[in-house]
Structure 1
Amino acid sequence: MTSITTDAKASRIGHKQPASITRAGTPLPVREKRPAYIALGVVLIVGLAAVGAYLYTQAGKKTPVVEVVNHIAAGHKIGRSDLTTVDVAGGVTAIGGASLESLVGQSAAVDLLPHTLLQRVMVTDAPTLSSTQAQVGVEVKPGQIPAGGLSVGDTVEVLQLPDKNAAAAAASQTAPSATVLVDNATVYDSASDPSQSGGTLLTLVVPRSDVAAIATASNASLVALVRVGK
């Protein structure tokens, strides 16, 4: 009996049983899920998607602003037909399209060129004439202005032509020459004269002291205008 017991112990010592045996059909252990990390991931995804959507919409967002259509010389009043609106994207400094009507009747503070986006500093509602200036209208025939005509904002020299009757009476003497009435006037407005073919009606900004002489010469059809440099 003693021998059998000893052999049984030796057998158990030589063949150790494994610490644990996974039985067939038992599910494998899994790692514990962490809900906090999952929630954080969802928040990040949603947040990044929202930021991306905002940047996309801002990149394509356009705002209507006021744009100049016609050339407007400094000091000239702005008409409705001189302006329009255009949609632009990005941080553009310009007057909003909703304010377009409020600009009509104001004056250009500087020369405004077509396709310029209008800014507040470019317009003024202050008087366009100083106390020493005046506007005077003149009527000219073809040949009394440059063949290409005159444009608003042009600087001109105003001449008084000699009277043809006086020139004929003094034919034996030295022919009279033109007299410079104003050497630096500005064309404020220009339009075709409906009363004569090829004629032009002009409004000039001139010194107040020269208005009477210019009006008299224009009434006698003795005014000629010469475009000069500024």
Structure 2
Amino acid sequence: MSKTQVRTDRPSGTKAVPQHGQAVGPVTPPRVSARRRRPGVIALSLALIAAGGAGVAVLLLQVGHRTEVVTVVRDVQVGQVVTEDDLGKASIALDPAVKAVRGNDLDSVVGKRAAVELKPGSLLAPTQVTKDSLVKAGEQLVPIGLKPEQVPATALVPGQKVQLVHVPAQGQAATGNDSDTRPETVNGRVVKASSAAPGTGVVVVDVATSAADGPTAASWVSAGTLRLVLAAADGR
């Protein structure tokens, strides 16, 4: 008996299907095209990194830079001579806009007078001291007590120009031609103004006047016939 011949030929163009267990050849992976590098983007990235590093460096330098300045360690009243014991030194990161006496200039302010009241813990500014006495030669200092209703709403500060006005005593009114008479006045300058006294609210103001007007102003204060008026900014 003859063996049946197995047909092995297949239509042209048809791929052979591998039989079970038949080895398959290696598979070629898909080709991936390389990404194009952009020189402009790389340059920009490097520039940003460099700028960030420079900014951090500047910030660290600013934080680390400290300046020695003069500080106030004790209360110093207006017009009082500043001594070395009233001052100290501190090393701080100082803003350029802040005007403070540098530590190596401490000796230059010792012996001067306080132009304003100096408080402990504050930095000393050059304008807070003066070589001139607040009560000049040929002047007298007149202390004036002001009741709460007589104290101006505008804060009284050293150097402010004022007028001391003589008013009729309580219970006495100007009559006749006297009512048209301009009240007598004395020009003065504020040297110091205290805080309101507890309970009474009275504020004591030290006013510098000419030596000729000092006794007159003092007599008005004693009689209770004096009022303090702020002068115009130009002094007129």
Q: What is the TM-score normalised by the length of structure 1?
A: 0.51
Q: CA deviation at 1:64?
A: 1.9
How has the CA–CA distance of structure 1 residues 94 and 191 changed in structure 2, closer, same or farther, with 3 Å as cutoff?
closer
Mapped pair 1:165 → 2:168: no
Q: How does 1:6-155 map to 2 (within 5 A)?
A: 60-66=64-70, 76-77=79-80, 85=90, 87-88=92-93, 95-97=101-103, 103=109, 106-108=112-114, 118-119=125-126, 123-155=129-161
Match of 1:218 among 218, 221, 231: 221
1:59–1:90 Cα contact (<8 Å) kept? no
Residue-pair matches, total: 166
Query: Which of the numbers 201, 204, 220 marks the counterpart of 1:198?
Result: 201
**Matched-pair contact (CA < 8 Å) for 2:164–2:226:** yes
String of CA shifts for 1:62-105, please: whole Å, max 9, x gaps. 1221368xxx9xx8447799998562469999533477698577
CA–CA separation in structure 1 for the residues paired with 2:153 and 2:213: 26
Specify the SS of the correspondent of 1:217: helix
Other structure's SS at 1:165 match = coil
Q: Indicate yes or no: 2:233 matched with 1:227.
A: no
How far is 1:139 from its partner?
1.2
**Could you say what secondary structure the match of 1:216 adopts?**
helix
**Which consecutive residues of structure 2, in runs of 5 or more, have no partner in the other structure?**
1-59
Deviations 1:137-195 (A, max 9, x none): 1112233332344233321111111113332xx66775476723323x21111114538
**Any conservation in 1 of the 2:191–2:208 contact (CA below 8 Å)?**
yes
Name the amino acid aligned to 1:134.
Q
Matched residues in 1 for 2:145 and 2:88: separation? 29
Give the Å deviation of 1:126. 4.8
Question: Contact conserved, 2:140 with 2:210, CA < 8 A, in 1?
Answer: yes
CA distance in 2, matches of 1:196, 1:179: 32
CA distance in structure 2 between the partners assigned to 1:147 and 1:135 by the alignment? 23
Task: Kindly provide the CA deviation profile for residues 109-162 of structure 1, in whole angstroms up to 9, marking residues without a partner as x.
Answer: 79x9xx88634x874445443322121111122333323442333211111111
Read off the aligned partner of 1:206 and give its amino acid letter.
Answer: T
* Structure with higher helix content: 1
Q: Which one is further off, 121-130 or 135-144?
A: 121-130
SS of the counterpart of 2:194? Answer: strand
Distance across 1 between alignment mates of 2:216 and 2:87 = 33
Aligned sequence identity (%): 25
Contact 2:70 2:87 in 1 (8 A): no
Are residues 88 and 220 of structure 1, via their aligned partners in 2, closer, same or farther at CA, if it must alter by over 3 Å?
Answer: same
Is the CA contact 1:159–1:178 (under 8 Å) kept in the aligned structure 2?
A: no
